[in-house]
Amino acid sequence: MPGARNRVITMVQSSSSATQARAEVGVIGGSGFYSFLDDVSEITVDTPYGPPSDSLFIGEVAGRRVAFLPRHGRKHHLPPHKINYRANLWALRSVGVRQVLGPCAVGGLRAEYGPGTLLVPDQLVDRTKSRAQSYFDGETRADGQVPNVVHVTFADPYCPVGREAAVATARSGGWEAVDGGTLVVVEGPRFSTRAESLWHAAQGWSVVGMTGHPEAVLARELGLCYTSLTLVTDLDAGADTGEGVSHEEVLEVFAANVGRMRDVLFDLIGALPDSDARDCLCVDPLGGQDPGIMLP
């Protein structure tokens, strides 16, 4: 992985040279993941859904072009329920991204998933309430185009190839990742009550977060591979005997693990298949249905 400590950020607008503004892999995560790269181009992208959370920061990792997008904005000013998920995924696809890695902080719903656990989920439960979760909703967009109403298969919400590579990469680096589990995504921004948390655990769900959805389904609608990597920062209220989750505690554990997570992400980027050679269920989500709009 590139180890240079001299960060050079080149300010580039969307009129920049084609190569600098293109990427193949997308990582939705904060500056802790790209600030160590040698040379990063900042690209401003607008979308028919409004602006994404921030600029795209594009650099090279393991010989591949990678676009990093700070999910909450670089100043962390966007709470989970105010993130423009549609704009974020659209912006990534519009610079060429076909495979997306979505690291996020979660609470553990079982005592054995304590802080520092890396879990690569294979299932998802959506308990969000107010988020636009489809591009194909039949509603006229700001640019006047009207998408058709279509339905994507979502039985397996994550890319099987990305998942397998993520688990293998983490393990070969010495981090015994949990292979599979269910991520329940809640609306936030508050943490769960003890009753909610106990209920989530009683369903057999594994970890709880606030940002993994609708990221996953929007990626699917756009034909992007999406792999979620969840880092447990705390035991959720029902699994914890203490005072409940605090934001401070979450930030502390995340900061302690960000370097480790970056190492896994960078190795994983090198292990992903060529985008042109993808042969997974993510590639053709519409199965012949006409979306009515052009994808970027």
236 is annotated as contributing to ligand binding: yes
Please report where in the chains the tokens 């940002």 appear, as a residue: 211
282 near Zn ion, rule: CB under 5 A: yes
25 near Zn ion, rule: CB under 5 A: no
- Give me the amino acid identity at 186: V
CB of 24 to Zn ion, least distance (A): 13
Tell me whether residue 109 or residue 159 sits nearer to Zn ion (CB atom): 159
Stretch that binds Zn ion, among 202-210, 246-254, 265-273, 281-289 (CB under 5 A): 281-289
According to CB under 5 A, which one of 159, 217, 219, 237 is a site residue for Zn ion? Answer: 159
216 near Zn ion, rule: CB under 5 A: no
**From the CB of residue 147, how many other CB atoms can be counted at a distance below 10 Å?**
19
280 near Zn ion, rule: CB under 5 A: yes
Query: Do the bridges between strand 225-235 and strand 118-120 make them parallel or antiparallel, or are there none, so unpaired?
Result: antiparallel
Do you find a cis peptide bond into 121, omega within 30 degrees of 0? no
CA 252, 253, 256 angle in degrees (round to 5)? Answer: 90
How far is 21 from 18, CA to CA, in rounded Å?
A: 5
CB of 61 to Zn ion, least distance (A): 19
Write out the DSSP string of 161-205: HHHHHHHHHHHHTT---EE--EEEEE--SSPPPHHHHHHHHHTT-
72 is annotated as contributing to ligand binding: yes
* Lookup: tokens for 17: 């040279």
In a 3-state reduction of DSSP, which class is residue 212?
Answer: coil
Tell me whether residue 163 or residue 262 sits nearer to Zn ion (CB atom): 163
Please report where in the chains the tokens 């006047």 appear, as a residue: 144
Stretch that binds Zn ion, among 14-22, 102-110, 159-167, 262-270 (CB under 5 A): 159-167
CB of 220 to Zn ion, least distance (A): 9
Catalytic positions are 234, 236
Residues in contact with Zn ion, counted by CB under 5 A, come to a total of 4
234 is annotated as contributing to ligand binding: yes
217 near Zn ion, rule: CB under 5 A: no
Q: Whose CA is closest to 247, among 105, 131, 128?
A: 105
Stretch that binds Zn ion, among 42-50, 153-161, 188-196, 212-220 (CB under 5 A): 153-161
In degrees and rounded to multiples of 5, residue 246 shows phi and psi of -120, 150
In degrees and rounded to multiples of 5, residue 21 shows phi and psi of -95, 5
210 is annotated as contributing to ligand binding: yes
- The helices-and-strands tally (H runs, E runs) of the chain is 5, 12
Query: Do the bridges between strand 99-108 and strand 25-28 make them parallel or antiparallel, or are there none, so unpaired?
Result: parallel
CB of 282 to Zn ion, least distance (A): 3
CB of 283 to Zn ion, least distance (A): 7
Tell me whether residue 164 or residue 187 sits nearer to Zn ion (CB atom): 164
Please report where in the chains the tokens 């719903």 appear, as a residue: 109
225 near Zn ion, rule: CB under 5 A: yes
By CB under 5 A, the residues from 123 to 142 that bind Zn ion are none
235 near Zn ion, rule: CB under 5 A: no
- Residues lying near Zn ion in the complex (CB under 5 A) are found at 159, 225, 280, 282
Binding site listing for phosphate: 31, 71-72, 211
